[in-house]
Amino acid sequence: KRMKALEKDKNESWRISKRDWEHFKNNARFERAAEIVIRKTDTSGAPWVLVEGADPRYRSLAILTTIRDAIVAHRERRRTRRKLVQMNQEALKKRRETELKKIEKTTSLLEKQSQSEASTGRKAKHKASTVKVSSHGDLKPLTVLDRLDMSQMLSDKQYTEQLVAARADLGAACRRAHFEGKSALMLFEGPDAAGKGGAIRRLTGSMDARDYRVIPFASPTDEERAQHYLWRFWRHIPRAGRFAIFDRTWYGRVLVERVEGFAQEDEWKRAYAEINEFEQQLVARGIVLAKFWVHVSKDEQYRRFKEREKISYKAWKLTPEDWRNRAKWDDYAYAVHEMVERTSTDYAPWTLIEGNNKKFARIKVMRTVCEAINKQLGPEPKQKRGSK
Q: Domains in the chain and their CATH numbers?
A: 2-48 (no CATH), 144-377 (3.40.50.300)
Closest CA to 185 of 243, 264, 99, 137: 243
> pLDDT of 342-359, one tens digit each?
999 999 999 999 999 999
% of the chain with per-residue pLDDT over 90: 60
> pLDDT of 53-86, one tens digit each?
888 899 999 999 999 988 998 888 888 888 877 8
Q: What is the DSSP letter of 47?
A: -
- pLDDT of the residue at 117: 53
Distance separating alpha carbons of residues 348 and 351, to the nearest angstrom: 10
Residue 292 has pLDDT above 80, yes or no: yes
Q: Which residue has the higher pLDDT, 9 or 192?
A: 192
Residue 140 amino acid letter: K
Q: Which residue has the higher pLDDT, 170 or 10?
A: 170
> pLDDT of 77-130, one tens digit each?
888 888 877 877 777 777 777 666 766 766 666 566 656 655 555 444 443 333
- pLDDT of the residue at 359: 98
Q: Are 353 and 364 in contact (CB under 8 A)?
A: yes
Q: Which residue has the higher pLDDT, 285 or 13?
A: 285
3-state secondary structure of 296: coil
**Residues in a beta bridge with 245:** 186, 214
- pLDDT of the residue at 140: 66
pLDDT band at 205 (very low <50, low <70, confident <90, very high): very high
Q: Dihedrals φ, ψ of 353, to 5°?
A: -105, 125
Q: What mean pLDDT is reported for the chain?
A: 87
